[in-house]
């Protein structure tokens, strides 16, 4: 079984793809059958992925050498693209995580989407997404990865806009696609550069060639450029500043989608891509520093927005952006291990929180404002307590998963700083402060939603088991999944790392700081939003720092800037081009036509209709031509084919 | 291979047209069915030829009657029907679109008999240009194409910004103007080839062997570039394209955007680049600049459009810019990409126009602000529209992505940052396509459209046929690329020799 | 050049006849008259052809055969032309060629 | 001395042709014009005889002098409703036409006079009909048949044209 799975890893994405085809062409009319097909395929993939994980994590050879097999996709002289499978601990981990989370979320969706008229369609999209995401994970070739990257983007687009009757959903979907498209443009350029300069897009070959980049006529500056261009893709896909704007809007989609695509899987594809191509980035310290700065800034920036948001899913979305910033930071300081670890734990606790939020929305019939909620934990204990688990995990309270991964990131950042990168201290400070903010805004939400007074107008009820079961599984994962990467027994770091394995001694001081920050954040939230039943202090603070509050509440007006740019610059120049086209280019054309018509009008007076006049002219012409040919220069006659 | 498969393929629609002539006017259904059968036979035959072609051997195959049949000896004109890896995709494309265009016109009620006859003649004419290996016959078929289009636009077209008469006239005059330049170039080419070799031979193969002097090549290439370029809607000879498509009936838009434009690209490769390599080398940078301008300019103009057909009209100008860019690279990879992009764009544009045609038939408008929420009533139509749109913005997994990427690889290498502007076009493309799709298909359901029906019966044919080509071509690009490469690589090898010898 | 007839004589004759016919065809108002003049021009051509037949290709008879065909066509032309003239003059009440100018702009 | 007789015959016949042709285009009365046209045609037939084309001469007399001229006379009678005395006027172009005709005559005459003839010297066979009938029915059979069809079509068409006008009556 393990052997089979390793050699047939392409089945993992293929099963959901088949499910998509089956649903679209066969079972579309039957909702029940469609979801069954979809879930069965995903569970099949999960089984295979587990077997792969077993296979990979029991064989130490995989740490150094990944299992790669591929077939040609298309090609011609001097340009061949292969598609294939690349299995190593990182991709095995991702396969396992993605199949697990997707399966759980599909099960959850059978409850959440129960009465939706487009139920079957929803599951077909989820299957397609699963297929693309898994294809992305196992891709052995950058172009293959890019293809899947775009396909997950498509699924994201379709699923954000799933409620097609909502204008906001439609606009959000468009925005998501467009924003990621800008990143993809850069990424495409980067890929093109790699193809042109190194003649291959195969990850293994690139990894072998790039360290010797100077032999391929690539300067360090160009390589930095390539790296930055390639990084544009992840900036957009993983919601990094300044292309993060689509991610919060993406919450217009159904909540399982938010959990699956916009928290656990697709948005981490950017992080995964950087992780996959880290061999490129370690060559260019400049790009690495940029990644670290962007990551840290995004983490802080998004957290600063999250503290004032009111809609439950938006808070979670900004939290996702912030946590993705953490992962980027970890990559930027050169630790694949820490980044992937956070990716792994984050997938569980963030999916958990989104699903729980979905459960809340389900119960409250889509009232999303956290200020309208309260005391829900009494009516919805499973949802509530699993959410609390998620909250503890993200805030970084040991022994929950988030603590270990976040601590790891802080440790590697500190090490980065100690290795002579002065900026590292600033990054560390940002990361640490973000940790505090994270604990605060997350528990602000928890206190407002689940504790405190119940609101009379709400009639919450616990969700069905199909929705709570995934919550419980995810809660368990959120609690324990971090334990494989503790500083004392760092199994994780041993398997997933780049370059030499990371062997830091347990940094107890940092751990203590981290816990302290988390507790401080929770404590502040407790004081402001639980103890103070009327939340007077919180409102007073908001009043006192009105400009700051407004800035944060309006997301630093980034959206407005983009909207201005689109409307005033892009659309205006589009209109300008169009007017140029119809008045200038077409004007020339119509002008020429008018000249022709005018000369026709003039010449028509020659058309007298008098037959004999025509004949007169005709014979005159014959006479003249004959005379010219007969008595004119001799070459004139030869042109017309005559000989004198 | 002596059975004339290609001539048979060519005759199938003509025969169908002849049969339709004898069908009573009132019997619409029978006319359409005969047309469908005729184009269907042509499609089946071209599929057979496509998959029967031996790529390992390459070169011209399926020569009708085994060898060129002399026709006009004094001019060296022969009935030389054969295909290679360059012609075959175009032949297949023609028949795919021809077949679906019949079904896209299924709901026409006005003068169906005449429409079908003209449509079939049009299809046969276009097909002829792609399988003729003789310059004269190529031109002959090209001229055959022009006239039915004018009649069809003027009778079955629709007016919006411009009248259909204006649109038809513009379209026709542009085509004729292009063919005038072309004719001048071709005659000069032929006369000079006779002067150089002393033998009159109009076949492309023979012309490619002639060593024209460099200065002459430069002049002639310009003539051919303008001629084929205006057919390809090369900027600034593009302005017929949006108006023409907007005015034309669905089937004409499909055929025009889908295949007629491709005659320009095909001719540029087959005649201009292969026969006049030195001229091509001289003009290639200018072609690239025009291509890039076309991409960016038309994409921006498309962004400002409110009429669906105009959006697609400008978008096809933009996509042809990519083709021109790929051709200008003069490399095997770039030209492979350009040919594949022509095929891909043909399928995509045909699907797009057929879907817009169906929308127009149902809502009687193409004005984007008047629409919205159509996907609630017509999910299948929405799928077709979205597939075409996504293919237009180059989504991987659909047929357009790999060709575009291939073009980018070569042009980025050859032209550097100039190509970046072209590549940036994908952003704008995505913007206008998504806007059009969003404002047409999505959003709140509108009660005024509640009566409209989804696609059904014969109307599904364009969606099914073209949609599956889009997907299959996207997943298995090698089906297309191996074929094209087997045709382009030998042609380009000859050019490179010429460039080596002449390129001191 | 002896006293014998050579083609120049006949060409000269036919040129004169042709010129006369042309004068008539161009300058006459009456349609029938124009038609008659055209017949004269055709006749001139026939003389030419037959003369060439005699002096250049007596064996092949090309000139005479052409002349036969010209006479045939001319006969057809006259028949059809007169029919047209009759039809036109019935409708238009005129036989002046310059009045038949409705093909002008 | 045969040449001298031929020359005399040529001058007489040529004079007849040109004289009567000039009368055709100058006479005021159309009927008179047609009558002198008959003279022209007969004189041309004489020229044909001079050129050893006896069959053609016969055809010329039959078709032109006989058939065509009679048809023309009938047409004149059918068409001409006003005064026959002034039935053949000239229009404003006659000056140009004279110049042009003169020019063409001079030009061709110049060419003819300056030409050097390389005569074959062979004679036209005596039995002209017997010689060229087979040619007409073998080598030129297709044009021959086409000419037959043309005649049929032309005459049918002529009938149809004239008849239709009658059928429509004078209401037009």
Paired sense of beta strands B69-72 and B77-79, if any: antiparallel
A139 inside domain: no
Q: Which of A486, A514, A533 is the last residue of a domain?
A: A533
Instruction: Using CA atoms of A414, A417, A420, A422 in order, give the dihedral in degrees to the nearest 10.
Output: -160
Say yes or no to pLDDT of A6 above 60: yes
> What residues contact residue B191 under an 8 Å CB cut-off, 6+ apart?
none
The minimum CA-CA distance between B434 and chain A, rounded to whole Å, is: 6
A333 inside domain: yes
Kindly state the average pLDDT of the residues A47-75.
83
Integer Cα distance of A534 and B460 in angstroms? 62
Q: What is the ipTM of this complex?
A: 0.72
A78 inside domain: no
Find the domain containing A631 and state its range.
561-643
Encode pLDDT of C32-87 as tens digits. Answer: 889 999 999 999 999 999 888 888 877 778 888 888 889 988 888 888 888 888 88
The minimum CA-CA distance between C102 and chain D, rounded to whole Å, is: 16
Q: How many helices (H) and strands (E) does chain A have?
A: 31, 2
Question: Is D144 found in the same domain as D74?
Answer: no
Residue A403 has a pLDDT of 84
Among the partner residues C7, C67, C86, nearest to D78 by beta-carbon distance: C86
Find the domain containing D87 and state its range.
2-139
What do you get for the CA distance between the two ends of chain D, in Å? 66
Question: Is A565 found in the same domain as A529?
Answer: no
The 3-state DSSP class for residue B190 equals helix
Kindly state the average pLDDT of the residues A277-294.
87
Encode pLDDT of A308-367 as tens digits. Answer: 888 888 888 888 898 888 888 888 888 888 888 888 888 888 888 888 888 888 887 777
Say yes or no to pLDDT of B502 above 50: no
Say yes or no to pLDDT of A277 above 70: yes
- Count structural domains, chain A: 2
* Tokens read off for A477: 């994962």
Q: Which residue has the tokens 């669905």?
A: B250
CATH number for domain C7-98, candidates 1.10.730.10, 3.20.20.370, 3.40.1280.10, 1.10.287.3510: 1.10.287.3510
Where does the pLDDT of residue B323 fall: very low under 50, low under 70, confident under 90, or very high at 90 and above?
A: very high
φ/ψ of residue B266, rounded to 5: -60, -45
Kindly state the average pLDDT of the residues B176-188.
88
φ/ψ of residue B200, rounded to 5: -90, 115
Residue B99 has a pLDDT of 92
Residue B504 has a pLDDT of 35
Quick one: residue B481, left, alpha or beta (phi over 0 = left, psi -120 to 50 = alpha)?
Answer: alpha
Encode pLDDT of A140-183 as tens digits. Answer: 888 889 999 989 888 888 888 888 888 888 888 888 888 888 88
Encode pLDDT of A427-468 as tens digits. Answer: 888 888 888 888 888 888 888 888 877 776 777 777 788 888
Residue A641 has a pLDDT of 52
Encode pLDDT of A579-630 as tens digits. Answer: 888 888 888 888 888 888 888 888 877 777 788 888 888 989 988 888 887 7
Question: Is D171 found in the same domain as D115?
Answer: no
CB proximity C31 to A under 8 Å = no
Residue D44 has a pLDDT of 92
Range with lowest mean pLDDT among B170-174, B383-387, B429-433, C4-8: C4-8
Alpha helices by DSSP H, A366-422: 376-379, 381-395, 401-418
- Count structural domains, chain D: 2
Q: Where are the domains of chain C?
A: 7-98
Range with lowest mean pLDDT among A459-463, A610-614, B164-168, B456-460: A459-463
Question: CA Rg, chain D, in Å?
Answer: 21
Question: Is A576 found in the same domain as A444?
Answer: no
Q: Return the exposure string of A155-185: e unless at least 16 CB atoms fall within 10 Å of the residue's CB, then b.
A: bbbbbbbbbbebbebbbbbbbbbbbbbbbbb
What does D55-87 look like in DSSP terms, one character per residue? HHHHHIIIIIIIIIHHHHHHHHHHH--S-GGG-
What distances in angstroms separate CA D2 from CA A613, C4, C6, D6, one per listed residue? Answer: 47, 9, 14, 6
A403 inside domain: yes
Question: Is A371 found in the same domain as A411?
Answer: yes
Question: Is D134 found in the same domain as D144?
Answer: no
Residue A548 has a pLDDT of 79
Give the residue on D whose Cα is nearest the Cα of C55: D119
Output helix, strand, coil percentages for chain C, rounded to the nearest 5. Answer: 75, 5, 20
Where does the pLDDT of residue A638 fall: very low under 50, low under 70, confident under 90, or very high at 90 and above?
A: low
Question: Is D129 found in the same domain as D145?
Answer: no
Among the partner residues D112, D123, D128, nearest to C8 by beta-carbon distance: D112
Cα maximum dimension of chain C: 58
The minimum CA-CA distance between A637 and chain D, rounded to whole Å, is: 16
Question: Is A338 found in the same domain as A418?
Answer: yes
A633 inside domain: yes
Output helix, strand, coil percentages for chain D, rounded to the nearest 5. Answer: 80, 0, 20
Where does the pLDDT of residue C21 fall: very low under 50, low under 70, confident under 90, or very high at 90 and above?
A: very high
Chain A neighbors of B326, CB-CB under 8 A? none
Give the residue on A whose Cα is nearest the Cα of D97: A616
Question: Is D29 found in the same domain as D112?
Answer: yes
Residue A506 has a pLDDT of 66
Q: Which residue has the tokens 């066509």?
A: C73
Cβ separation of D103 and A612 shorter than 8 Å? Answer: no
Residue D170 has a pLDDT of 47
State yes or no: chains B and C have 3 or more CB pairs below 8 A. Answer: no
Question: Is A570 found in the same domain as A476?
Answer: no
Where does the pLDDT of residue C2 fall: very low under 50, low under 70, confident under 90, or very high at 90 and above?
A: very low
Residue A643 has a pLDDT of 52
pLDDT < 50 positions in chain D? 1, 165-166, 169-172
Question: Is D78 found in the same domain as D44?
Answer: yes
Where does the pLDDT of residue A634 fall: very low under 50, low under 70, confident under 90, or very high at 90 and above?
A: low
Cβ separation of A147 and B397 shorter than 8 Å? Answer: yes
Encode pLDDT of B272-297 as tens digits. Answer: 888 888 888 889 889 999 999 989 88
Cβ separation of D93 and A623 shorter than 8 Å? Answer: no
A106 inside domain: no
- Chain B partners (3+ C-beta pairs within 8 A): A
The 3-state DSSP class for residue A76 equals strand
Residue C93 has a pLDDT of 77
B284: nearest Cα among B268, B267, B271, B266: B268
Question: Is D165 found in the same domain as D118?
Answer: no
* A342 in Cβ contact with A406 (< 8 Å): yes
Cβ separation of A76 and B413 shorter than 8 Å? Answer: no
CB proximity B477 to A under 8 Å = yes
Encode pLDDT of B210-254 as tens digits. Answer: 888 888 888 889 999 998 988 888 888 888 888 888 888 888 888
Residue D17 has a pLDDT of 92
> What residues contact residue A436 under an 8 Å CB cut-off, 6+ apart?
A517, A518, A520, A521
- Selected residue of A145, A576, A589, A639 to mutate for chain B interface (largest B Cβ count, 10 A): A589
The minimum CA-CA distance between C38 and chain D, rounded to whole Å, is: 11
Percent residues over pLDDT 90 in chain A: 1
Cβ separation of C13 and D120 shorter than 8 Å? Answer: no
> What residues contact residue B46 under an 8 Å CB cut-off, 6+ apart?
B9, B88, B91, B92, B94, B95
Among the partner residues A73, A192, A574, nearest to B303 by beta-carbon distance: A574
Cβ separation of A195 and B409 shorter than 8 Å? Answer: yes
Residue D2 has a pLDDT of 64
The minimum CA-CA distance between C17 and chain A, rounded to whole Å, is: 15
Integer Cα distance of D71 and D37 in angstroms? 12
- Report the CATH number at residue D110: 1.20.120.1200
Say yes or no to pLDDT of A511 above 90: no
Give the residue on A whose Cα is nearest the Cα of C101: A609
A148 inside domain: no
Question: Is D80 found in the same domain as D144?
Answer: no
* B177 in Cβ contact with B230 (< 8 Å): yes
């Amino acid at each position: 079984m393990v052997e089979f799975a390793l050699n047939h890893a392409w089945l993992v994405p293929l099963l959901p793809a088949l499910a998509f085809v089956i649903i679209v062409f066969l079972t579309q009319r039957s909702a029940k059958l469609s979801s069954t097909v979809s879930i069965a395929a995903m569970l099949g993939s999960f089984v295979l992925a587990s077997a792969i994980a077993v296979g990979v994590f029991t064989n130490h050879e995989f740490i150094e050498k990944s299992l790669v097999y591929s077939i040609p996709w298309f090609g011609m002289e001097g340009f061949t693209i292969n598609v294939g499978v690349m299995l190593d601990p990182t991709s095995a981990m991702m396969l396992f995580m993605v199949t697990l989370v997707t399966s759980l979320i599909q099960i959850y969706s059978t409850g959440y989407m129960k009465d939706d008229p487009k139920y079957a369609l929803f599951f077909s999209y989820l299957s397609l997404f699963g297929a693309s995401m898994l294809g992305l994970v196992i891709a052995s070739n950058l172009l293959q990865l890019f293809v899947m990257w775009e396909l997950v983007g498509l699924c994201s687009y379709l699923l954000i806009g799933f409620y097609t009757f909502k204008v906001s959903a439609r606009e959000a979907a468009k925005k998501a696609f467009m924003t990621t498209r800008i990143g993809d443009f850069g990424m495409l350029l980067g890929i093109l550069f790699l193809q042109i300069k190194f003649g291959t897009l195969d990850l293994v070959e690139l990894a072998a060639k790039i360290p010797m980049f100077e032999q391929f006529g690539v300067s360090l500056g160009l390589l930095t450029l390539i790296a930055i261009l390639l990084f544009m893709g992840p900036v957009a896909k993983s919601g990094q500043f300044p292309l993060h704007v689509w991610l919060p809007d993406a919450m217009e989609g159904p909540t399982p989608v938010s959990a699956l695509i916009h928290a656990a899987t697709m948005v981490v594809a950017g992080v995964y891509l950087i992780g996959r191509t880290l061999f490129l980035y370690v060559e260019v310290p400049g790009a690495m520093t940029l990644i670290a700065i962007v990551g840290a800034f995004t983490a802080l920036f998004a957290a600063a927005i999250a503290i004032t948001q009111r809609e439950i899913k938006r808070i979670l979305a900004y939290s996702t952006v912030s946590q993705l910033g953490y992962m980027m930071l970890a990559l930027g300081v050169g630790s694949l291990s820490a980044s992937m670890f956070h990716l792994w734990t984050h997938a569980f606790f963030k999916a958990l929180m989104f699903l729980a939020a979905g459960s809340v929305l389900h119960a409250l019939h889509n009232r999303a404002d956290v200020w309208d909620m309260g005391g829900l934990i009494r009516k919805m204990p499973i949802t509530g307590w699993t959410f609390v688990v998620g909250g503890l995990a993200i805030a970084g309270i040991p022994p929950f998963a988030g603590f270990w991964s976040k601590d790891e990131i802080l440790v590697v950042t500190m090490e980065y700083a100690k290795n002579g990168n002065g900026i590292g201290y600033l990054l560390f400070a940002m990361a640490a402060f973000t940790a505090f903010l994270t604990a605060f805004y997350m528990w602000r939400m928890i206190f407002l939603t689940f504790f405190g007074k119940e609101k009379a107008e709400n009639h919450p009820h616990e969700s069905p088991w199909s929705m709570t079961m995934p919550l419980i599984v995810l809660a368990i994962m959120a609690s324990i999944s971090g334990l494989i990467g503790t500083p004392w027994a760092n199994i994780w770091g041993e398997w997933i790392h780049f370059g030499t394995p990371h062997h830091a001694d347990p940094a107890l001081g940092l751990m203590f700081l981290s816990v302290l920050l988390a507790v401080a954040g929770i404590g502040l939230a407790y004081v402001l939003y639980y103890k103070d039943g009327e939340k007077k202090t919180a409102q007073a603070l908001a009043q006192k720092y009105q400009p700051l509050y407004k800035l944060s509440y309006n997301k630093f007006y980034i959206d407005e800037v983009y909207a201005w740019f689109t409307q005033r610059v892009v659309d205006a120049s589009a209109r300008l081009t169009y007017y140029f086209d119809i008045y200038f280019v077409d004007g020339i054309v119509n002008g020429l036509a008018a000249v022709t018509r005018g000369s026709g009008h003039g010449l028509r007076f020659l058309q007298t209709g008098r037959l004999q006049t025509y004949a007169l002219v005709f014979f005159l012409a014959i006479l003249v031509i004959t005379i010219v040919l007969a008595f004119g220069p001799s070459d004139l006659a030869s042109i017309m084919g005559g000989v004198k | 291979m002596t059975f004339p498969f290609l001539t048979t393929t060519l005759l199938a629609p003509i025969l169908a047209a002849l049969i339709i002539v004898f069908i009573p006017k009132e019997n619409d259904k029978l006319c359409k069915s005969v047309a469908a059968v005729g184009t269907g036979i042509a499609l089946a035959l071209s599929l057979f030829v496509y998959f029967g072609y031996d790529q390992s051997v390459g070169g011209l195959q399926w020569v009708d009657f085994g060898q060129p049949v002399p026709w006009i000896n004094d001019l060296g004109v022969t009935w030389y029907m054969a295909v290679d890896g360059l012609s075959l995709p175009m032949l297949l494309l023609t028949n795919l679109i021809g077949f679906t265009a019949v079904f896209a016109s299924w709901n026409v009620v006005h003068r169906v008999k005449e429409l079908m006859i003209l449509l079939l003649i049009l299809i046969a004419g276009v097909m002829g240009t792609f399988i003729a290996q003789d310059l004269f016959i190529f031109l002959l078929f090209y001229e055959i194409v022009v006239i039915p289009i004018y009649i069809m636009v003027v009778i079955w077209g629709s007016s919006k910004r411009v009248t259909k008469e204006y649109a038809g006239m513009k379209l026709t005059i542009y085509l004729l103007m292009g063919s005038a330049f072309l004719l001048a170039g071709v005659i000069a080419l032929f006369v000079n080839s006779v002067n150089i070799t002393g033998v009159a031979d109009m076949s492309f193969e023979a012309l490619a062997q002639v060593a024209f002097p460099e200065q002459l090549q430069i002049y002639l290439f310009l003539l051919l570039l303008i001629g084929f370029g205006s057919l390809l809607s090369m900027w600034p000879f593009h302005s017929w394209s949006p108006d023409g498509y907007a005015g034309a009936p669905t089937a004409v838009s499909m055929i025009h955007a889908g295949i007629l434009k491709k005659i320009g690209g095909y001719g540029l490769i087959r005649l201009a680049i292969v026969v006049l390599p030195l001229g091509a080398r001289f003009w290639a940078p200018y072609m690239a600049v025009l291509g890039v301008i076309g991409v960016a300019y038309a994409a921006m103009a498309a962004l400002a459009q409110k009429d669906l057909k105009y959006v697609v009209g400008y978008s096809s100008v933009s996509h042809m810019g990519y083709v021109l860019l790929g051709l200008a690279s003069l490399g095997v990879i770039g030209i492979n990409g350009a040919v594949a992009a022509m095929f891909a764009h043909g399928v995509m544009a045909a699907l797009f126009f057929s879907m817009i045609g169906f929308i127009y038939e149902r809502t009687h408008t193409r004005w984007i602000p008047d629409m919205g929420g159509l996907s609630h009533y017509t999910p299948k139509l929405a799928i077709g529209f979205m597939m075409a749109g996504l293919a237009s913005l180059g989504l991987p997994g659909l047929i357009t992505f790999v060709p575009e990427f291939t073009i980018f690889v070569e042009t980025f290498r050859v032209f550097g940052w100039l190509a970046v502007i072209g590549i940036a076009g994908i952003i704008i493309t995505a913007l206008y396509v998504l806007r059009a799709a969003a404002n047409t298909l999505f959003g709140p359901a509108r009660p005024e459209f509640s009566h409209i029906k989804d696609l059904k019966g014969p109307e599904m044919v364009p969606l099914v046929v073209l949609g599956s080509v889009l997907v299959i071509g996207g997943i298995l690009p090698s089906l297309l690329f191996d074929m094209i490469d087997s045709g382009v690589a030998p042609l380009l090898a000859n050019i490179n020799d010429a460039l080596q010898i002449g390129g001191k | 050049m002896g006293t014998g007839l050579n083609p120049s004589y006949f060409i000269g004759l036919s040129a004169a006849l042709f010129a006369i016919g042309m004068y008539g065809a161009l300058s006459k108002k009456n349609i029938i008259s124009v038609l008659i003049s055209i017949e004269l021009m055709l006749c001139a051509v026939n003389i030419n052809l037959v003369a060439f037949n005699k002096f250049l290709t007596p064996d092949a008879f090309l000139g005479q055969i052409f002349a036969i065909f010209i006479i045939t066509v001319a006969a057809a032309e006259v028949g059809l032309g007169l029919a047209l003239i009759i039809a036109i003059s019935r409708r238009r009440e005129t036989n002046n060629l310059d009045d038949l100018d409705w093909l002008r702009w | 001395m045969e040449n001298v007789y031929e020359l005399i015959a040529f001058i007489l016949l040529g004079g007849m042709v040109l004289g009567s042709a000039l009368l055709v285009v100058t006479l005021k009365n159309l009927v008179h014009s047609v009558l002198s046209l008959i003279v022209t045609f007969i004189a041309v037939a004489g020229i044909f005889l001079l050129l050893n084309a006896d069959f053609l001469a016969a055809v010329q007399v039959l078709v032109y002098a006989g058939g065509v001229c009679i048809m023309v006379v009938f047409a004149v009678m059918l068409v001409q409703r006003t005064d026959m005395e002034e039935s053949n006027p000239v229009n404003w172009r006659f000056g140009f036409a004279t110049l042009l005709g003169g020019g063409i005559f001079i030009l061709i005459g110049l060419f003819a006079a300056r030409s050097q003839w390389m005569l074959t010297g062979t004679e036209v066979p005596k039995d002209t009909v017997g010689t060229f009938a087979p040619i007409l029915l073998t080598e030129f059979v297709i044009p021959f048949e086409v000419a037959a069809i043309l005649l049929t079509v032309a005459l049918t068409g002529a009938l149809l044209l004239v008849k239709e006008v009658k059928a429509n009556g004078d209401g037009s």
